[in-house]
Structure 1
Amino acid sequence: MSRLGEDGERKAGSGLRAEAQVNEFKENQNIVYASLRPVQTTVLGKTAKVCLAPFSLSDYKLEQPKHSKSLSEKNSNCMMVCQKTELKACEEILIPKMKVIPSKAESSLQKLSLDVHTESSKPGHESPSAATILSVDMESSDEDIIPDMDDFSGLSPYERKRLKNISENAKFFASLHLSESAARLRDMIKKRQPPKTKRKKPNKKENEIGCRRSMRLLKVNPSGVSLPSNPTQPVLIEDENPLLPPGPLEMLPENEDDDHELFKGFLQTWGAMNKTSSKNVEKLPSIKSYKANLNDMVINEDTVHKVTKGSISSVAVHPSESRILVAAGSKSGQIGLWDLTQKHKEDGTYVFCPHSQPVSCLYFSPANPVHLLSLSYDGTLRCGDFSRAVFDEVYRNESKSFSSFDFLTEDAATLLVGHWDGTLSLVDRRTSGTSYENLISSSMTKIRTVHVHPVHRQYFITAGLRDIHVYDARYLSSRRRQPLVSVTEHTKSIASAYFSPVTGNRVVSTCADCKLRIFDSSCVSSQMPLLTSIRHNTVTGRWLTRFQAVWDPKQEDCIIVGSMAQPRRVEVFHETGKGVHSFQGECLGSVCSISAMHPSRCVLAGGNSSGRLHVFMKPGSF
Structure 2
Amino acid sequence: MSRPFADGEGKVGTWVNEFKENQDVTYACLRPVQTTVLGKTAKVYLTPFSLNDYKLEQLKHSKSLSEKNSNYMMVCQKSEPKKTCEEILIPKMKVIPSKAESTLQKLSLGVHDESNKPGHKSPSAAAILSADMESSDEDITPGVDDFSGLSPYEKKRLKNISENAKFFASLQLSEVSARLREMIKKRQPPKSKRKKPKKRENEIGCRRSMRLLKVSPSGVSLPAPPTAPMLIEDENPLLPPGPLEMIPENADDNHELFKGFLQTWAEMNKTSSKNMEEELSSLKSYKANLNGMVISEDNVHKVTKGSISSVALHPSETRILVAAGSKLGQIGLWDLTQQHKEDGTYVFYVHSQPISCLYFSPANPAHLLSLSYDGTLRCGDFSRAVFDEVYRNESRSLSSFDFLAESAATLLVGHWDGALSLVDRRTPGTSYEKLISSSMTKIRTVHIHPVQRQYFITAGLRDTHVYDARYLNPRRSQPLVSVTEHTKSIASAYFSPVTGNRVVSTCADCKLRIFDSSCVSSQMPLLTSIRHNTITGRWLTRFQAVWDPKQEDCVIVGSMAHPRRVEVFHETGKGVHSLLGEGLGSVCSINAMHPTRYVLAGGNSSGRLHIFMKPGSY
Q: TM-score, normalised by structure 2?
A: 0.70
In 1, the alpha carbon distance for the partners of 2:414 and 2:29 equals 111
- Determine helix, strand or coil for the equivalent of 1:393: strand
Q: Which amino acid aligns with 2:425?
A: R
- The answer as to 2:66 corresponding to 1:94 is yes
- Determine helix, strand or coil for the equivalent of 1:336: strand
- The Cα of 1:237 is off from its aligned counterpart by 2.4
1:466 to 440, 462, 470: 462
Counterpart in the other structure of 2:196 = none
- Determine helix, strand or coil for the equivalent of 2:342: coil
Spell out the pairing of 1:142-221 with structure 2 (5 A cutoff).
144-147=133-136, 150=139, 171-177=163-169
- The answer as to 2:319 corresponding to 1:323 is yes
Q: Which amino acid aligns with 1:80?
A: C
In 2, the alpha carbon distance for the partners of 1:137 and 1:578 equals 116
- The answer as to 2:283 corresponding to 1:311 is no
Q: 1:145 to 1:266 in 2, by over 3 A?
A: same
Q: Residue 134 of structure 2 contacts residue 157 of structure 2 at CA under 8 Å; is this kept in 1?
A: no
In 2, the alpha carbon distance for the partners of 1:375 and 1:86 equals 104
- The Cα of 1:85 is off from its aligned counterpart by 7.6
User: What CA deviation, in whole Å up to 9, does each residue of 1:492-546 have, x standing for no partner?
Assistant: 0000000000000000000000000000000000000000000000000010000
Counterpart in the other structure of 1:586 = 582
- Determine helix, strand or coil for the equivalent of 1:275: coil
Counterpart in the other structure of 2:483 = 487
- The Cα of 1:81 is off from its aligned counterpart by 4.0
In 1, the alpha carbon distance for the partners of 2:495 and 2:16 equals 123
Q: What is the number of residues matched between the two proteins?
A: 476
Q: Which amino acid aligns with 1:263?
A: F
Q: Residue 360 of structure 1 contacts residue 376 of structure 1 at CA under 8 Å; is this kept in 2?
A: yes
Q: 1:459 to 1:151 in 2, by over 3 A?
A: closer
In 2, the alpha carbon distance for the partners of 1:344 and 1:528 equals 49
Q: 1:458 to 1:49 in 2, by over 3 A?
A: closer
Counterpart in the other structure of 2:74 = none
1:262 to 245, 248, 257: 257
Q: Residue 540 of structure 1 contacts residue 547 of structure 1 at CA under 8 Å; is this kept in 2?
A: yes
Q: Which amino acid aligns with 1:176?
A: F
In 2, the alpha carbon distance for the partners of 1:86 and 1:480 equals 98
- The Cα of 1:238 is off from its aligned counterpart by 1.8
- The Cα of 1:565 is off from its aligned counterpart by 0.4
Q: Which amino acid aligns with 1:502?
A: V
Counterpart in the other structure of 2:19 = 46
- The answer as to 2:369 corresponding to 1:396 is no
Q: Which amino acid aligns with 1:46?
A: F
- The answer as to 2:247 corresponding to 1:252 is yes
Q: 1:323 to 1:87 in 2, by over 3 A?
A: same
Q: TM-score, normalised by structure 1?
A: 0.69
- Determine helix, strand or coil for the equivalent of 2:263: helix
- The Cα of 1:463 is off from its aligned counterpart by 0.2
Q: Which amino acid aligns with 1:246?
A: P
In 1, the alpha carbon distance for the partners of 2:22 and 2:299 equals 134
- The Cα of 1:175 is off from its aligned counterpart by 5.0
Q: Which amino acid aligns with 2:166?
A: A
Identity score, percent: 72
Q: Residue 449 of structure 1 contacts residue 496 of structure 1 at CA under 8 Å; is this kept in 2?
A: yes
In 2, the alpha carbon distance for the partners of 1:42 and 1:379 equals 109
Spell out the pairing of 1:427-466 with structure 2 (5 A cutoff).
427-432=423-428, 433-442=430-439, 444-466=440-462
Q: Which amino acid aligns with 1:349?
A: T
Counterpart in the other structure of 1:272 = 267
Spell out the pairing of 1:215-614 with structure 2 (5 A cutoff).
237-278=232-273, 280-281=275-276, 283-432=279-428, 433-442=430-439, 444-614=440-610
- The Cα of 1:376 is off from its aligned counterpart by 0.1
- Determine helix, strand or coil for the equivalent of 2:343: coil
Q: Which amino acid aligns with 1:256?
A: A
Counterpart in the other structure of 1:621 = 617
Q: 1:173 to 1:376 in 2, by over 3 A?
A: same
In 1, the alpha carbon distance for the partners of 2:519 and 2:69 equals 129
Q: 1:457 to 1:198 in 2, by over 3 A?
A: farther
User: What CA deviation, in whole Å up to 9, does each residue of 1:142-162 have, x standing for no partner?
Assistant: 97145466559xxxxxxxxxx
Q: Residue 423 of structure 2 contacts residue 432 of structure 2 at CA under 8 Å; is this kept in 1?
A: yes
In 1, the alpha carbon distance for the partners of 2:20 and 2:288 equals 134
Q: 1:96 to 1:516 in 2, by over 3 A?
A: same
Q: 1:401 to 1:45 in 2, by over 3 A?
A: same
- The Cα of 1:173 is off from its aligned counterpart by 3.2
Counterpart in the other structure of 1:217 = none
Q: Which has the larger radius of gyration?
A: 1
Q: 1:465 to 1:179 in 2, by over 3 A?
A: farther
- Determine helix, strand or coil for the equivalent of 1:508: strand
Q: Residue 48 of structure 1 contacts residue 138 of structure 1 at CA under 8 Å; is this kept in 2?
A: no
**Which ranges in structure 1 are unaligned for 5 or more consecutive residues?**
1-28, 31-40, 51-73, 99-133, 153-162, 202-233
Q: 1:492 to 1:178 in 2, by over 3 A?
A: farther
In 2, the alpha carbon distance for the partners of 1:248 and 1:49 equals 130
In 2, the alpha carbon distance for the partners of 1:604 and 1:138 equals 122
Q: Which amino acid aligns with 2:66?
A: L
